[in-house]
Each structure stands twice: as structure tokens, then as C-alpha cells.
Amino acid sequence: RSVGKQAIIGADYGFCWRLMPVPGPAMAQPAVDHHTRFQAAVDVIHNLPKNGCYQPSYQVMLRFYSLYKQAMCGPCAVPRPGFWDPVGRYKWDAWNSLGELSPESAMAMYVEEMKKVAQEVIDTMPMNHTTASFFHHFEPLYSVIGDMPRPPASLLTHIAESGLPEPL
């Protein structure tokens, strides 16, 4: 919701609340694009099938988690979880390792990580119907991230022939 010239943005588990500027006419266009690109990448990550054809490594998942937390909350300012919470400790360590990285830089890095994942999928997965349906989830990124890696034209042909909507 809007509060004057600020918007309140919450992060998972309620660990942090931070005020972020609401884009307005005085803000430079690149700043708006950072937020738009970041939000599109976050939406894609949240909409990927949990048991889909691509399963990221724990390291990749931690990288996305830490960059998301840094972008939404800023530098880690919560206590490290106890030894009985090893997953929480890994997540905290990943977030804390980003130090004083600005939220805008974290957003840009998140988008770059998304591009790396897309390229990895293109380079390593067989190009078939399953992969075609997987790339359907990336469609929102193609309209806001101009240099987003795209699947080969042969896969796009497969998408068209299979009845799936074509990527933008």
C-alpha cells in the first residue's frame, strides 16, 4: 500500500519490513526497469513447477534466496538461527554474505542469475515437449529483459506445433 512517497514492502516470514520509493515522474526510468525486471524474475521463480524438468542445486536456490532477501530487506540484520535449524543457518549465511550490497544491486544480480539459469537450461536440457512447456514459464521475462536467453527456434516451432502459446 502507498504511504506518502513510500511503499511498504514485506518479505517472507515477516523478518523485515522496509520502505522502498514508489516510482514517480521524478525517478529515472532505469530504476523503474530494475524493479520491473526483478519482479518479473521473482514471479517466474515462484511459478516454476516444484517437481519440473529443471531442478536447481541448493547453491543456486541459496543464491536466489539471499539476493531476494537483500533486495527486499537490505543487509541482514536478524540474529543467526540456532544450530537446531541448519536450513535457516544456510539461508542466513548466504544472505549475510552479501554484506552492504544495495537493494538495487541485489535486484540486478537476481536478474543476472535468472539469465544464467535460463542459459544453463538451454545448454543442458534436451529440446522436447517437456522443455517446451518449461520455457512457457519464462514468457513474462522476454518482454522486460531484452537480453534474456531464449530457446532455439526449433523449440519454438515445437511449441507452436504442440498447441502451447508461443513465447513473446
Q: What percentage of residues in the chain have a pLDDT greater than 90?
A: 40
Confidence at residue 127, expressed as pLDDT on a 0 to 100 scale: 72
Q: Which cell numbers hold the place of 168? A: 513473446
Confidence at residue 30, expressed as pLDDT on a 0 to 100 scale: 55
Amino acid in the structure at residue 34: H
Confidence at residue 158, expressed as pLDDT on a 0 to 100 scale: 55
Q: Do residues 158 and 127 touch, judged by C-beta distance below 8 A?
A: yes
What span, in angstroms and rounded, lies between the C-alpha atoms of 9 and 20?
7
Q: Where are the alpha helices (DSSP H) in the chain?
A: 29-47, 58-73, 86-96, 103-124, 129-136, 139-144, 153-162
Buried b (16+ CB within 10 A) or exposed e, 36-69: bbbbbbbebbeeeeeeeebebeeeeebbbbbbbb
Domain boundaries, the chain: 2-162
Return the CATH class of domain 2-162. Answer: mainly alpha
pTM over 0.85: no
Confidence at residue 22, expressed as pLDDT on a 0 to 100 scale: 40
Q: Which residues of the chain have pLDDT under 70?
A: 1-32, 130, 154-168
Q: Do residues 107 and 38 touch, judged by C-beta distance below 8 A?
A: yes
**Partner residues linked to 8 by β-bridges:** 19
Confidence at residue 125, expressed as pLDDT on a 0 to 100 scale: 77
